[in-house]
Every structure is written in structure tokens, then in C-alpha cells.
Amino acid sequence: MTSCYPTVSAWYWSDNDHTPTKVIGIALDVETTGPCMTKHAMTEFGAVAIALEDHSERRVLAHFEGHMKIPEGCKFEALCEKEFWDVHKPEEKQRALACQAEPADVMHSFIDWVRTVKDRYANGEARQVRFLCDAAYFDAGWISHYLTKYANHNPLHTFFSEPGKSRFKPVIDTNAFFRGVARIDLNDELDVEMGPDGRFSSSKAARKVLGIPDNEKSDVEHDHRAVHDAESIIKEYLIVCKYIRLRRAQSVQASLQVC
């Protein structure tokens, strides 16, 4: 039988090569056996930390990859198995079925990793750490579910809360962010879905509005390995932020010239 990936893989950039930054973004991505948290399971998730002001170099400061067993009573949804796992991840499906890592152990390792990222790269300040997903309701929802169920920990939006001290920070949904940048509504999306392209992409819409060249893109493929997808998500977010800032600077310069 195919062996499981290492249960946990955690990596950090050398402390000597990075000074504490203003805001650290931690992008997240998950893979599951189906859409329902009460029937299905999370088999793997990845997290990647990058300084959110690092728009150009986009250097990864730390990453985390966790794999865990499918709890008893959970299973693959038939459609998800047929259209996703059997098509995109057949070998990983066998690894997921073979993996015996306890979800509690993996989630506690993730909690320790997040706290280490906070201490090493954000001056130990919880307000300087933000989580990102490209579909927060799904990815953040699954990770929050596992944090509360298996580690008795706060969900992501109150991750750093303490007894008597609430710290609520919404998870940044990059999909929604890109839609706002592109000023897309559901009618625009439907027009694309019904047209020859067939599938709407919020990041492509944002790129088009901002005039981002095709050669400026993430150097990591979105290949359905969670840690790779998390890195791709945050790098695409930083590219869009870079061009928002460029547009803003151009607008200010133009207004000064008019004056």
C-alpha cells in the first residue's frame, strides 16, 4: 500500500535573514473527502507565511503541511471521489486511506507553528498576523472545525483570543477581494459562465482591470497539493496588491500634475 506523507512538515526561514515585519499573512488550503463537515473529513492542509508588504520578492518565511487519517465514520463523497480524487489525486487518495496520523496531533502541531511564526516574524504581536484563503467559508471553515473539535482551540477568526481578552480578526477571502477589485457582480459572473470561456475566475478579472502582465505570476503551480496551493494563493494576492498600489501612486501623481 502507498505510504503516507510525513505527518507534519514545518519549515522556517533563518532568523538571521529576516527582521520582524508589519503584517504576516498566512495562506491556507485544504483537501477533503467531501463538502460536509459532519460526514466527510479533511485529509491534508497547508499553510504558507509571507510578509504582506513583500509585494515584489514574495519570499516564503515559513510553511506547514499536515496529513491526517480519515476518522471512523467519515468517507469519500461519491461525486467528490469520482470527479476530483480519481482525476487529480489518485496516488494521494491511497496515501490518505493509509495515513494513520491522529488529527489532534496534527492540529496541535499547527497551533505551535502559527505561534512560532507570530513570535519570529511579527514581533510576537497577534494583531500583525492575518489568515487568508481563496474560499474562506470552505478552507477556513474546515480548519476551524478541526481546531475546535480535535485540539479544543479557538477557530481561525479568534485564534489568538485569551481568557478575558477577545481577538476577533476575519479571515481574508481572496476570492471576494479580487471580485471587489474587479467590481464584478453576479450578473457579470453569469455572463462569463454562460459564454465560451465557461468558467469565471475572480483573479483573472482583477488582473484584467489592473492591467497585470501575464508574465507576472506565482512561481508555484496550483496543483491540488495543499501547501503548494496555499503558496499560490498568497502570491497571487500580493501581485494584485502590488498593482493596486501602483495604480494608487499613478493616481496621486496625476492629481498633483493637475494641481
The CATH number of the domain where 142 resides is what?
3.30.420.10
pLDDT band of residue 17 (cuts 50, 70, 90) is low
Find the mean pLDDT for residues 137-144: 96
d(CA 181, CA 203): 9
Separation of alpha carbons 96 and 68, rounded Å = 7
Query: Is position 1 within any domain?
Result: no
Given a cut of 60, whether residue 114 has pLDDT beyond it is: yes
Sheet holding 129-133, edge to edge: 8-12, 62-67, 42-51, 24-32, 129-133, 172-173
SS (H, E, C) 165-218: ECCCCCCEEHHHHHHHHHCCCHHHHHHHHHCCCCCCCHHHHHHHHHCCCCCCCC
Is 46 within the bounds of a domain?
yes
Residue 120 resides in a domain: yes
Give this prediction's pTM.
0.89
Radius of gyration of the chain (CA): 20
Q: Give the domain range for residue 53.
A: 8-258
Q: Is the pLDDT of residue 256 over 70?
A: no
Averaged confidence pLDDT in the chain? 88
Is 146 a member of any domain? yes
Given a contact cutoff of 8 angstroms between Cβ atoms, the answer to whether 65 and 90 are in contact is no
Whether 100 is in a domain gets the answer yes
16 domain-assigned: yes
For 212, the grid coordinates are 497585470
Q: Which of 44-48, 72-76, 194-198 has the lowest mean pLDDT?
A: 194-198
Q: What is the mean pLDDT of residues 203-228?
A: 91
The predicted-structure confidence for 153-178, as pLDDT tens digits, reads as follows 999 999 999 887 888 899 999 999 99
Domains identified in the chain, total number:
1
Question: Is 2 a domain residue?
Answer: no
Provide the 10 A C-beta neighbour count for residue 3: 9
Specify the residue for cell string 507534519.
8
Does residue 213 fall inside a structural domain? yes
